[in-house]
Amino acid sequence: MSEMESKLRELKGVRWVEINPVRTEEELRLEVRLGADPNLKTSEENRLQHEVAAVLAEMAPQARVFVRVVPAR
């Protein structure tokens, strides 16, 4: 996971990353929480969520990705 976390930390506005992999018999789910600049506009948060999903789709195409952006302090 550290390679994924490193890649996500490089994205503009990201201050910290938590990735929780959840495996079931049917799938691998990656639950991602990002600490982002608290002054981000909603449109920027949405952009960030899409960028995270794109990065993880490339790195783990078999996984379902859920992204949550929270204000970082």
pLDDT at 51 > cutoff 90: yes
Instruction: Render pLDDT for 8-41 as a digit per residue (tens, 0 to 9).
Output: 999 988 999 999 999 999 999 999 999 998 988 9
Which top CATH class is 2-71?
A: alpha beta
Residue 73 — pLDDT band, cuts 50, 70, 90?
confident
Residue 1 — pLDDT band, cuts 50, 70, 90?
low
**Phi then psi dihedrals of residue 25, to 5 deg:** -65, -30
Does pTM surpass 0.75? yes
Domain ranges for the chain: 2-71
